[in-house]
Each structure stands twice: as C-alpha cells, then as structure tokens.
Amino acid sequence: MVLRVGDVGDAVKALQRGLNRLGAMLLVDGHLGAGTGDAIVEARITLGRPGPPEADDELQAAVAATPDPFPPLTAAGVTFIARAEVGSASEYRRKYQVPCWPSATSGITIGIGYDCQFVTREQLGQDWAGVLAPELLDRLAPALGKVGSADRLTQVHDVLVPLSAAMTVFAKRHLAQYLEQTRAIYAQVDDLGPARRTALVSLVYNRGARLNDKDPQRQDRVEMRAIRDLLASGRQEDIANQFDAMARLWDPAKLPGLIQRRHAEATLWRSGFAALQLD
C-alpha cells in the first residue's frame, strides 16, 4: 500500500512513529499532511531512496526497521524535548537549519542548541562524524571555541544542518549528557518508564540540575527538591503536581512557552506519550 499526502489512519501513525526514529519531530496524529510529506522526502534521502513525498511498502519497511535514536527515552521522548526546544520541524527549517547567534554571550550555534563556543575541532568531528560532510565541519572552524559575533556568523551563515542530522547529534550528545545530569539529582530516573524519564530529562535540560534556591524568598527550586523527595519516598503519583506547580515561576504574558512546557511534562508524567500525540 502506498501512503500519500491526504491519507489518514493507523498505517500513517506507524509511518510517523518510524519517521520520528529518523528525527522527523512529528506529532503522531495519523494524518499524512505536508509536514509528514516533507519528512518522507528527507527520510528517502537519509535512507538512500530519493523520491516523492509518498511511502510505498519498501520505504515503510525501511523506516520501520530504523533503530531507536536514544533508547532510554525512545524516539517519542527525543521528539518531545526537541519540539519543546525548537517548536516543530517546520520551525527548525525556518530558523535553525543554518547557524545562528542566540545571544551576546553565546557562541555560534548549530542544530538544536549545539553551541560551538564550547567545542574543539576534535569534538566537533566526533559529534558530527557521518552526519555532516567533513568539508562542512571545516567551514565551522572560525566559530569554534569563541563567543559569537556578527563577523563569525557571516563566515558560516550558509552551512546547512538538515533536521535529521541535528536530531541525530541532539540524541547522541545532548540527551545522553542531560540524562547523566538528571541521574545526579534524581537517582531513581532509570527505574522509571520512558515517558516519566523523559519528563525529568526535559526539566533538567531546560532548568539545569541546581537544587538550591538563588532567591530564598522566591524559592525557585522548591518543586525540583520536592520531586527528588517524592522519588526517594516512592510517591511517584504526586510528582506531576510539582511540574504543574512550577508554572508559578513565569509570567504567562512573557514566557508562556515555559509554562506550557511544565504542564506538558505533567501530562507526560500522568498519561504517557500518547496523550501528547507522540506515540
């Protein structure tokens, strides 16, 4: 059966799950729309099967056979955190597939949060080997180990990092690193299922692993400490409320995305990936 733009149903959902193992960052909604069509085209390139935005039986089988990019969180967890960081696949292609300079103190950044300020040429090669061509990695040399600048951004502005490449490194380097940081404060993280593990890694990815309050009056880490204590006492069912409670920390008029992210993590904890159309 060939799946084309406009098709709906469980076969489309199965395809979307497989495409997310290739880094497509899709919602698993069972609708083969333009976004899934774009993901099919990119998957064809990744799998060495270039062609139109449709999936025949052979392509569906190849996609289904793709291994999970980061088993501790599964493709659904990787997709959840990536979407929290950059919004969607189309948003990534619009804003992040070429290098950017997010702030005056950051370095030139590629992919999903990969800050070249903190990277050596050797590390860049290790992280992106087989993902970006060596000549592209050489092109990024002016941005390595330095705070960004307009001139440095100009030097690398046309280096293109496809979404699939960005997602590969995001899973292999960033999420592995942040899972380690999560273990440091939430020792029981490996005893959880992938959805709850993802919620904790997402929290630490966004807020860091600090548990002490910077402002005692504001108590900005009280919920994160409560999560630690609830995990230690085996009261897992009370933890979702702590994600929701953290929303108090941000002004909804200024930082609605952070509030939405905390509530999404709470939903993930309570109801799993399917509740967020990720499985």
Tell me the per-residue pLDDT of 232-264, one tens digit each, with 9 for 90 and over. Answer: 999 999 999 999 999 999 999 999 999 999 999
Judge if 170 and 216 occupy the same domain: yes
List Cα–Cα distances, 272 to 110, 117, 207, in angstroms. Answer: 30, 36, 21
At which of 112, 134, 156 does a domain end? 156
List, for residues 150-188, the tens digit of each pLDDT value. Answer: 999 999 999 999 999 999 999 988 999 999 999 999 999
Same domain (yes/no): 108, 17: no
pLDDT at 141 over 90: yes
Please check whether residue 81 lies inside any domain of the structure.
no
Query: Looking at the domain assignment, is residue 72 inside a domain?
Result: no
Task: Please tell me the predicted confidence (pLDDT) of residue 146.
Answer: 94
Residues 6 or more apart whose CB falls under 8 angstroms from that of 197 comprise: 72, 73, 77, 179, 182, 189, 190
- Boundaries of domain holding 251: 163-276
Q: How far apart are CA 224 and CA 208, in angstroms?
A: 10
Name the pTM for this structure: 0.94
196 and 264 co-located in one domain: yes
Number of domains in the chain: 3
Residues 54 and 136 in one domain: no
pLDDT of residue 217: 86
Both 27 and 107 in a single domain? Answer: no
For the chain, give the DSSP string.
--B-TT-BSHHHHHHHHHHHHTT------SB--HHHHHHHHHHHHHTT----S-B-HHHHHHHHTPPPS-TTTHHHHHHHHHHHHH--HHHHHHHTSS-B--STTS--EETTTEEGGG--HHHHHHHHTTTS-HHHHHHTGGGTTS---HHHHHHHTT----HHHHHHHIIIIIIHHHHHHHHHH-TTGGGS-HHHHHHHHHHHHHH-S--S-SSTTT-TTHHHHHHHHHHHTT-GGGHHHHHHHGGGGS-TTT-HHHHHHHHHHHHHHHH-GGGGT--
Do residue 151 and residue 211 come from a single domain? no
Percentage of the chain modeled with pLDDT above 90: 96
Of 20, 49, 64, the position where a domain reaches its end is: 64
